Structure 1
Amino acid sequence: MTPRIFLVGILALAVGCGGDDTSSTETNTGSGEKQYTIAVIPKGTSHVFWKSVHAGAQNAADELGNVMVLWKGPLLESDTKGQVDVVQDFIVKKVDGICLAPLDSQALIEHVNVAKEAGIPVVIFDSGLDDESNTVSYVATDNWHGGELAAQTLAESIGGKGNVILLRYKTGSESTEQREEGFLAKLKEAYPEVNVISSDQYAGVTPEEAFANATQILQKYEGQVNGIFAVCEPNGEGVRKAIEQLGLTGKVKFVGFDPNEPLIDGLSNDQVHGIVLQDPVKMGYEAVMSMMKHLQGEEVEKRIVTGEYVATPENMNTEEMQRLLKPEQY
Structure 2
Amino acid sequence: MRKTLYVLLALALIATAAGCNRSKTNGKKLTIAVIPKGTSHEFWKSIHAGAIKAQRELSTNGAEIEIIWKGPLREDDRDQQIQVVEGFTSQGVNGIVLAPLDNRALARPVEEAKSAGVPTVIIDSALESNSIVSFVATDNRKGGMLGADRLGELLGGKGKVILLRYAEGSASTEEREAGFLQEMKQKYPNIELISTTEYAGATREKAKSASENLLNRFGDDVQGIFCPNESTTAGMLSALQDIGKAGKVMFVGFDTSQTFVDAMRAKQLHGIVVQNPFNMGYLGVRTMVEQLQGKLVEKRIDTGVTMITPDNLEAAETQALLHPPLDQYLK
Superposition pairs for residues 32-43 of structure 1, below 5 Å? 33-43=27-37
Task: Tell me, in whole angstroms, the C-alpha distance in 2 between the residues paired with 1:262 and 1:253.
Answer: 17
Amino acid paired to 2:58: L
**Percent identical across equivalent pairs?**
49
Which of 198, 202, 207 aligns to 1:205? It is: 202
Matched, 1:109 2:111: no
1:14: which partner in 2? none
Which of 203, 207, 215 aligns to 1:218? It is: 215
1:261-305 deviations in Å (ceiling 9; x for gaps)? 111111111110000000001000000000011101110000000
Superposition pairs for residues 267-306 of structure 1, below 5 Å? 267-306=264-303
Amino acid paired to 1:216: N
Task: Tell me, in whole angstroms, the C-alpha distance in 2 between the residues paired with 1:76 and 1:264.
Answer: 25
Matched, 1:128 2:126: yes
User: What are structure 2's unaligned runs of at least 5 residues?
Assistant: 1-21
Matched, 1:45 2:39: yes
1:97: which partner in 2? 95
Task: Tell me, in whole angstroms, the C-alpha distance in 2 between the residues paired with 1:275 and 1:234.
Answer: 13
Task: Tell me, in whole angstroms, the C-alpha distance in 2 between the residues paired with 1:328 and 1:236.
Answer: 23
Dislocated runs of 4+, deviation >6 Å: none
Instruction: Please identify which structure carries the higher helix content.
Output: 2
Task: Tell me, in whole angstroms, the C-alpha distance in 2 between the residues paired with 1:127 and 1:53.
Answer: 13
Amino acid paired to 1:273: H
Matched, 1:175 2:172: yes
1:141-192 deviations in Å (ceiling 9; x for gaps)? 0000000000001111122210100000000000000000000000011111
Residues 54 and 286 of structure 2 are in contact (CA less than 8 Å); yes or no, is this contact kept in structure 1?
yes
1:15: which partner in 2? none
Which of 55, 68, 82 aligns to 2:66? It is: 68
2:83: which partner in 1? 85
Which of 127, 131, 153 aligns to 1:156? It is: 153
Residues 248 and 268 of structure 2 are in contact (CA less than 8 Å); yes or no, is this contact kept in structure 1?
no
How does the TM-score come out when normalised to structure 1? 0.89
Which of 237, 241, 245 aligns to 1:240? It is: 237
Amino acid paired to 1:288: V
Amino acid paired to 2:39: T
What is the RMSD computed on CA atoms of the aligned residues?
Answer: 1.4
Task: Tell me, in whole angstroms, the C-alpha distance in 2 between the residues paired with 1:46 and 1:216.
Answer: 25
1:12: which partner in 2? none
Which of 59, 70, 88 aligns to 2:53? It is: 59
Task: Tell me, in whole angstroms, the C-alpha distance in 2 between the residues paired with 1:250 and 1:46.
Answer: 27
Amino acid paired to 1:137: S
Matched, 1:314 2:316: no
Task: Tell me, in whole angstroms, the C-alpha distance in 2 between the residues paired with 1:210 and 1:122.
Answer: 31
Task: Tell me, in whole angstroms, the C-alpha distance in 2 between the residues paired with 1:322 and 1:218.
Answer: 32
Amino acid paired to 1:239: M
Amino acid paired to 1:149: L
Structure number with larger C-alpha Rg = 2
